Amino acid sequence: MSAPVPVVAPNGVPGPQAVTGDTTARGFVLYVALDEATAATAGTTFSELVQDVHAYVQSLVPTAESHAVVALAPADTPGSDLDAVRAALGDPTVARRARPEAAPAPSQAQRARPTGALIDLSRREVHLDGEMLNLTFREFEILNYLVENATRTVGREELL
């Protein structure tokens, strides 16, 4: 058995990428493209699948924490099921994924743009309505502090 190699999910580059010295891998995301009808046909449910995956991870690493989320997307969402799951869960790398050449890219007017805010604390990126914002270091630090303390009111003096 070899020692673990630090990697992160690819950003349009085939294969794993090394983690930089100022970051550390703290977990991973597993996207599963599956609808409830297909799961039922296979004799299972989302709940049973999640419990089985959780039990398997716990059998390998008893101290590991896990969290499951079901992706809800409109039935007519274009692209593969996996792309729909990634987009519904706000994966900022979904747009960077290389598309097959056979399918022509939709025009800018046809392309559905995500709405809302996506704050990726690990990458220090903020996306608003699908556009990446260029925040200064201090602006990002304030936003990060507000997100981490979202359950309470943060006063001006505390921010200063």
CA 36/CA 42 separation, integer angstroms: 10
| CA angle in degrees (0–180, nearest 5) for 49-123-94 | 55
Tell me what the pLDDT averaged over the chain comes to: 76
CA angle 50, 95, 17 (to 5 degrees): 75
Rounded-to-integer distance, Cα 29 and Cα 135, Å? 26
pTM of the model: 0.47
The per-residue pLDDT for 149 is 85
Q: Does 126 reside within a domain? A: yes
**Domain assignment present for 51:** no
Backbone angles phi, psi at 14, to 5 degrees: -60, 140
Instruction: Report yes or no on 135 lying in a domain.
Output: yes
pLDDT at 7 over 60: no
Q: What is the DSSP letter of 4?
A: P
Span of 69-73, 88-92, 99-103, 114-118 with lowest mean pLDDT: 99-103
Domain presence at residue 137? yes
Instruction: With H, G, I as helix, E, B as strand and everything else as coil, classify residue 17.
Output: strand
Confidence of residue 102 (pLDDT cuts 50, 70, 90): very low
Instruction: Provide the pLDDT confidence category of residue 21 given band limits of 50, 70 and 90.
Output: low
Predicted local confidence at residue 1, as pLDDT: 47
- Specify the range with the lowest mean pLDDT, choosing from 63-77, 99-113, 144-158: 99-113
pLDDT at 19: 57
Has residue 64 been placed in a domain?
no
Average the pLDDT over 10-34 and give the result: 68
* Of 87 and 157, more confident: 157
Is 143 among the domain residues? yes
**How many structural domains are present in the chain?**
1
pLDDT in tens, 64-92: 888 887 777 777 778 888 888 888 777 77
**Two structure tokens written together for 154:** 């943060």
Please choose, from the candidates 139, 133, 134, 95, the residue with its C-alpha nearest in 3D space to the C-alpha of residue 114: 95
Q: Tell me, yes or no, whether 144 lies in a domain.
A: yes
Q: Is 147 part of a structural domain of the chain?
A: yes
Structural domain range at position 150: 113-160
Half-sphere exposure of 5 (CA within 13 A, CB side): 9
Between 150 and 19, name the one with better pLDDT.
150
